[in-house]
């Protein structure tokens, strides 16, 4: 049997004041080795498959072959502000600062350097670049202009504009990439009319009617994001002004539409506040949202917008999926202190948490086994450097720089690195890897932390359960089962849990009984029927809450995943407690 071919080593590039270097690693031992001599440049960009690297200098754009480090193309064009490769690397798109009578948006043949399209573009932004969008197979290209979307044959730009979609007031567009079957358009609020998102099929788009549509208010900008498979699009709609004065940064809403027109609506988020980040899984089968006032909440949804799992709450505003969709990093960067939580998507178990303060950028490696954070200038002028963590959050490599402008992994073609499950030694068998601190009490739970009624003496036992559960998680990853000490503690915890549940039930019953007693002779007056109904509803709510808690406890104990109907009931817990409080207040008032 032939031996499996060795996978190529990972590369990353770092850009310092004296130039850019392409480095080989990890493990970066005894130190990084440059495969391209330092090149002085203003910026650099890899092709999607990592085969080419384009660098911008004041007078030119130079393309290098990453495997050999040799120059393969040089475009003598000055003042380039942005560059981008097409998905297959066939074209290079450049933008120059606009000047009078000059077409400053250019698409070049990346092999010959010939110009295939040149047009005028007033301005660009991080959210609108690249201006010309390509499908993954490069068969379709499109560009948004005033009130229209222009379509091109991505294999033959000499044909010119091959189709048009005219839509008055259009301000955003996103072409589905794989496959290029649909296009989503956005029109903001205009003169009292609501904002709208429409989905069109890309075949004969000028004559097509929208296959899906959603209208909404409180939006003057929107971010459109397709999943792999082109079955659904997420719409992050934002308004510059928050009329409730709860947020300085305005309001945000998340909407969802399917390309078959069967579903359109708001994503059901269970906490008020801004939407910090939303990202589709690379598989296209689900998406993750971080939302709500701090501590923010993180929820996983299916491709048809059904809640699947709650990751708990924490100081997070950033989602990073590994390229294979196997691992997830939830992080808090920018104005947050740099907390990071690493998760296994398949088991929905957490490896633990760590920190990378003052991180400006963060990115998974192409093999999905390493996670890099970088502190760069000009955002931060001190403590510049990179940190590389393993997929379980343990620090693997760190390097300081006096000044660092960029640090990015070299991409790899899709499928080069296989989807590999975590090692049994992850996190636990490494003696230096201590259990993560500040793990939220509800981490790994399908619902937020359990509410404890007043006078309930369970806080100490809950704390013990959280500590033991995390310890056992580490044991399970290492051995595939529980250690002897964990088994002993598990038995003690089960006995304690049974006692706590009995106490909790007694407390719940006593609360209801106490409230009924407070009614006194209310049955003699005209409000007796209403008060009796309230008490009956209250008993029913406490019964539902006990069932929710018992279901969750059983799932945690047995390790069996909750069913869809059970998950739906679990998601109702917080609203049930709100209703309990409301009924209790009504009963007290009626008395």
What confidence tens digit (pLDDT) does each residue in 106-141 have?
Answer: 999 999 999 999 999 999 988 889 999 999 999 999
Determine the angle formed by the axes of helices 484-518 and 573-590, rounding to 10 degrees. 30
Segments making up each domain of the chain, as ranges: 135-266, 459-590
Which CATH architecture fits 135-266? 7 Propeller (2.130)
Q: Under a CB-based contact definition with an 8 Å cutoff, are residues 342 and 356 in contact?
A: no
* Non-local CB neighbours of 478 within 8 Å, separated by 6+ positions: 424, 425, 426, 428, 429
Q: How far is CA 45 from the centre of its chain?
A: 23
Percent of the chain residues past pLDDT 70, beyond the cut: 73
| Buried/exposed 567-583: b ≥16 CB within 10 Å, e otherwise | bebbbebeebeebbeeb
What is the per-residue DSSP string for 184-237?
EEEE--BTTBPEEEEEEESTTGGGPPPSEEEEESS-SEEEEEEPTTSSEEEEEE
pTM for the full predicted model: 0.70
What confidence tens digit (pLDDT) does each residue in 254-292 have?
Answer: 999 999 989 899 999 999 999 999 999 999 999 999 999
The radius of gyration of the chain's CA atoms, rounded to the nearest angstrom, is 28
What DSSP designation does 500 have? H
What DSSP designation does 159 have? G
Task: Collect the ranges in the chain with pLDDT lower than 50.
Answer: 1-3, 30, 428-482, 504, 506-528, 591
Instruction: Measure the CA dihedral 553/556/560/564, to 10°.
Output: 60
User: Is 80 in a helix, a strand, or coil?
Assistant: strand
For residue 328, the cross-strand partners are 321, 343
What DSSP designation does 349 have? E
What confidence tens digit (pLDDT) does each residue in 290-309 have?
Answer: 999 999 999 999 999 999 99
Where does 27-131 show beta strands of DSSP type E? Answer: 34-39, 43-46, 52-57, 60-65, 71-75, 80-85, 91-96, 105-109, 115-119
Pairwise CA distance, residues 82 & 402, whole Å = 26
Q: Under a CB-based contact definition with an 8 Å cutoff, are residues 73 and 56 in contact?
A: no
């Amino acid at each position: 049997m032939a031996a499996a071919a060795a996978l190529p080593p990972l590369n990353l590039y770092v850009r310092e004041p004296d130039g850019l270097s392409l480095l080989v690693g990890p493990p970066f031992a005894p130190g990084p080795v440059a495969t391209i001599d330092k090149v002085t440049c203003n910026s650099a960009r890899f092709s999607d498959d990592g085969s080419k690297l384009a660098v911008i200098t004041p007078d030119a754009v130079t393309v290098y072959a990453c495997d050999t480090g040799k120059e393969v193309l040089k475009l003598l064009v000055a003042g380039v502000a942005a560059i981008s490769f097409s998905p297959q690397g066939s074209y290079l798109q450049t933008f120059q600062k606009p000047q009078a009578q000059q077409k400053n948006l250019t698409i070049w043949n990346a092999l010959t350097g010939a110009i295939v399209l040149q047009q005028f573009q007033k301005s660009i932004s991080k959210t609108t670049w690249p201006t010309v969008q390509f499908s993954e197979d490069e068969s379709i290209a499109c560009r948004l202009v005033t009130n229209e979307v222009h379509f091109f044959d991505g294999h033959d730009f000499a044909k010119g504009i091959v189709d048009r979609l005219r839509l008055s007031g259009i301000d955003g567009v996103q072409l589905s990439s794989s496959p290029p079957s649909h296009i989503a358009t956005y029109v903001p609020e205009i003169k009292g009319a609501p904002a709208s998102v429409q989905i069109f099929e890309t075949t004969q788009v000028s004559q097509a009617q929208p296959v899906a549509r959603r209208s909404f208010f409180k939006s003057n900008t929107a971010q459109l994001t397709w999943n792999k498979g082109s079955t659904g699009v997420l719409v992050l709609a934002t308004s510059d002004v928050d009329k409730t004065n709860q947020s300085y940064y305005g309001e945000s809403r998340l909407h969802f539409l399917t390309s078959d027109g069967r579903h359109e609506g708001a994503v059901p988020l269970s906490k008020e506040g801004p939407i910090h980040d939303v990202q589709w899984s690379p598989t296209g089968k689900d998406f993750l949202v971080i939302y709500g006032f701090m501590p923010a909440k993180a929820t996983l949804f299916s491709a048809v917008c059904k809640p699947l799992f709650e990751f708990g709450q924490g100081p997070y505003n950033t989602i990073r999926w590994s390229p294979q969709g196997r691992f997830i990093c939830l992080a808090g960067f920018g104005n947050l202190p740099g907390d990071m939580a690493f998760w296994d998507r398949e088991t929905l178990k957490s490896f633990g948490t760590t920190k990378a303060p003052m991180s400006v950028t963060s990115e998974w490696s192409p093999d999905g086994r390493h996670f890099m954070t970088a502190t760069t200038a000009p955002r931060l002028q001190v403590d510049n450097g990179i940190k590389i963590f393993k997929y379980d959050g343990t620090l693997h490599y760190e390097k300081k720089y006096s000044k660092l402008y960029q640090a990015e992994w070299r991409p790899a073609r899709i499928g080069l690195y296989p989807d590999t499950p975590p090692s049994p030694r992850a996190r636990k068998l490494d003696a230096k890897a201590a259990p993560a601190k500040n793990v939220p009490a509800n981490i790994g739970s399908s619902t937020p932390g359990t509410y404890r009624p007043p006078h309930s003496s369970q806080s100490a036992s809950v704390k013990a359960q959280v500590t033991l559960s995390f310890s056992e998680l580490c044991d399970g990853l290492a051995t595939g089962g529980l250690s002897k000490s964990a088994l002993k503690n598990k038995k003690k915890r089960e006995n304690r849990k049974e006692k706590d549940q009995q106490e909790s039930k007694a407390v719940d019953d006593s609360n209801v009984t106490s409230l009924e007693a407070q009614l006194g002779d209310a049955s003699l007056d005209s409000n007796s029927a209403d008060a009796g109904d309230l008490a009956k509803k209250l008993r029913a709510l406490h019964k539902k809450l006990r069932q929710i808690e018992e279901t969750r406890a059983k799932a945690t104990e047995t390790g069996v995943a909750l069913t869809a109907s059970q998950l739906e009931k679990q998601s109702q817990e917080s609203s049930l407690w709100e209703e309990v409080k409301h009924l209790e207040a009504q009963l007290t008032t009626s008395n």
